[in-house]
Chains A and B, each alone.
Chain A
């Protein structure tokens, strides 16, 4: 099928294009990007006044299905993604059941083929049930279709287990994604620790709970020369640690989410539960560090960490 997209503002960062142009697709592939294409096609899309860009890849989303369809489903999540120009998502494994074996991955694949509106890639869990005790069989997971492994929602507390995971993932060519949080330091906190948590009377989460775990994960990855990807960076220390590791040649990449460069903990002063996140919103200085990290390339990607909850779950005390 041939398609001509005419007159839109074509933004293609990889090829350094930002201009009004036409795009010709032949047999499902882009064959020409130029001004004033006149080829006749079966389908014609008038893109005047619109932006035409490559689909966004969001590498950190929680689709909640299977298990918590009350929060979100593959269908509703991918519909929302499509309307935002996101054409591929990487789904995190903290579903019920968790993506810790081939059966569960196949279950998800069935749901995806039935109801997904866009491409859904699967991230499998590192440990059985994401409990941080037993390592999953990465070979089986990769064969079933997983592209990455993570216990996201939690970190793997055991150094031994994490080391084994990094080694196994590297062997199977799976990307290890780390949710870095030392729960013994974050301690049931609900917002960034500091003057604002004190004045609001809320239990605080230290930045150390994040960056110390990042240090550990990088150290272990360095040890076995495995690649590691750090999820949702929220504070300046984390950016610094990743930058230093990159300089040393460690195979580390990382991502941040839009809220960490748009909002700070001051957004919580009226106890708005919609802004309660993990990691939490931090201080203005952290926001600047994140922005700088994006600018200078320390942070490799922006991922939404789309993590929906039901209204009832949010409409209660902080």
Chain B
């Protein structure tokens, strides 16, 4: 199976083979991070630019570490401190980066479709690190890699995603990826946080977390993003924790070895209890490790795809 794309914009656009190729490649890359010298020369002389319009620590650092382990040079642009404040448009910024002969732009933006737009305008590779409510493909890929490692094949797995589904790009990417690989996905949230038409993505809908956890092999707990939609009505924090929070008591009623995932950063006591976050079922830190491997695979493949 060949990788022919110059960009990674979302899992909606990939087929099953392409997703599996990324996961297999990521598996191979995991070993690099266990060496004494955590570097391979695959992207030597290439330049990756992190163009982040939204604040981020973990994703940005993860991409930076991944690029550096591939021997690429990394530049970080944080929008608040750049010409964006002088009113420079996204496409102009992108074209300037391309003019510097960078090879890959990794973009995080608050508008859905920003990565798509940039990819259309530029000849260099564009990797979506999260655009608005739309997609966060590398997060879903590392979630799936973690699931694969812990539970074997993704086909037939029951995965529940709980949280602010309506505004979550992590949810959308996970739904696309998991369903394409044959998992059964249930989304669970209060009614106002379930977006219109989501059943057409092939998921079950639930408003009751205990019911949604019953047959689940894994639960992916999303962050309650109070900052992402100032116009929507949000459930009050403690109320949310009572009704949907993942606690030890709730897990006790679910499958014994249920995997608990979270894209981070965790709001302890709002979507998940500290006990669970630090407990045996939690694979949150392994997700972070897998994030490096997945991002190395993605950067490697898109640079191949461009050639």
Q: Direct A–B touching in the complex (beta carbon < 8 Å)?
A: yes
CA distance A171 to B117 in the complex (A): 51
Question: What is the interface residue range for chain B against chain A?
Answer: 20 to 34
B196 at the interface (CB under 8 A from A): yes
CA distance A43 to B198 in the complex (A): 65
Known: A194-B197, A198-B198, A199-B201. A188 touches B231 (CB 8 A): yes
In the bound complex, residues from chain B placing their C-beta under 8 Å from that of A194 are: 196-197
CA distance A197 to B91 in the complex (A): 23
In the bound complex, residues from chain B placing their C-beta under 8 Å from that of A317 are: 90, 109, 111, 113-114, 117
A193 at the interface (CB under 8 A from B): yes
Mostly helix, strand, loop or mixed at chain A's interface? loop
Q: Are A201 and B112 in contact (CB under 8 A)?
A: yes
Q: Are A316 and B89 in contact (CB under 8 A)?
A: yes
B85 at the interface (CB under 8 A from A): no
Q: Are B196 and A201 in contact (CB under 8 A)?
A: no
Mask, B134-156, CB within 8 Å of A = 1, is 11000000000000000000000
- Chain A CB within 10 A, most for which of B12, B117, B169: B117
Mask, A156-198, CB within 8 Å of B = 1, is 0000000000000000000000000000000110000111111
In the bound complex, residues from chain B placing their C-beta under 8 Å from that of A195 are: 196-198, 200-201
Q: Are A202 and B113 in contact (CB under 8 A)?
A: yes
In the bound complex, residues from chain A placing their C-beta under 8 Å from that of B132 are: 201-202
A270 at the interface (CB under 8 A from B): yes
The minimal Cβ–Cβ distance linking B145 to chain A, given in whole angstroms, is 23
Q: Are A200 and B113 in contact (CB under 8 A)?
A: yes
A66 at the interface (CB under 8 A from B): no
In the bound complex, residues from chain B placing their C-beta under 8 Å from that of A44 are: none
**Nearest B residue to A190 by beta-carbon distance?**
B112
Partner of A198, one of B91, B116, B131, B195: B195
In the bound complex, residues from chain A placing their C-beta under 8 Å from that of B29 are: none
Q: Are A187 and B231 in contact (CB under 8 A)?
A: yes
Q: Are B196 and A204 in contact (CB under 8 A)?
A: yes
CA distance A188 to B232 in the complex (A): 11
The minimal Cβ–Cβ distance linking A24 to chain B, given in whole angstroms, is 54
Mask, A19-51, CB within 8 Å of B = 1, is 000000000000000000000000000000000
In the bound complex, residues from chain A placing their C-beta under 8 Å from that of B198 are: 195, 198
The minimal Cβ–Cβ distance linking B270 to chain A, given in whole angstroms, is 23
B133 at the interface (CB under 8 A from A): yes
CA distance A195 to B12 in the complex (A): 13
B295 at the interface (CB under 8 A from A): no
A83 at the interface (CB under 8 A from B): no
In the bound complex, residues from chain A placing their C-beta under 8 Å from that of B108 are: none
In the bound complex, residues from chain A placing their C-beta under 8 Å from that of B131 are: 201
Q: Are B172 and A201 in contact (CB under 8 A)?
A: yes
Q: Are A271 and B90 in contact (CB under 8 A)?
A: no
**Nearest B residue to A268 by beta-carbon distance?**
B113
- Chain A CB within 10 A, most for which of B91, B132, B197: B197
In the bound complex, residues from chain A placing their C-beta under 8 Å from that of B200 are: 195
Partner of A197, one of B120, B135, B196, B201: B196
Q: Are A202 and B133 in contact (CB under 8 A)?
A: yes
Q: Are B195 and A200 in contact (CB under 8 A)?
A: no
In the bound complex, residues from chain A placing their C-beta under 8 Å from that of B133 are: 201-202
CA distance A318 to B131 in the complex (A): 11
**Nearest A residue to B121 by beta-carbon distance?**
A315
Known: A271-B117, A317-B113. A198 touches B169 (CB 8 A): no
CA distance A193 to B114 in the complex (A): 20
In the bound complex, residues from chain A placing their C-beta under 8 Å from that of B134 are: 200-202
Mask, B235-248, CB within 8 Å of A = 1, is 00000000000000
In the bound complex, residues from chain B placing their C-beta under 8 Å from that of A196 are: 197
Q: Which of A188-233 contact B (CB under 8 A)?
A: 188, 193-202, 204
Q: Which of B95-136 contact A (CB under 8 A)?
A: 109, 111-114, 116-117, 120, 131-135
Q: Are A318 and B172 in contact (CB under 8 A)?
A: no
CA distance A94 to B113 in the complex (A): 30
With contacts A199-B172, A317-B90, A318-B113 known, what are 15 further pairs, Cβ within 8 A?
Answer: A194-B197, A195-B196, A195-B197, A195-B198, A197-B195, A197-B197, A198-B196, A200-B134, A202-B113, A202-B132, A270-B116, A312-B89, A315-B91, A317-B109, A318-B117
Q: List 19 A-B contacts (CB under 8 A).
A: A188-B231, A193-B196, A195-B196, A195-B200, A195-B201, A197-B195, A197-B196, A198-B195, A200-B112, A201-B131, A201-B132, A202-B132, A271-B113, A271-B117, A315-B89, A315-B91, A316-B89, A318-B112, A318-B117
Q: A residues touching B (Cβ–Cβ < 8 Å)? A: 187-188, 193-202, 204, 270-271, 312, 315-318
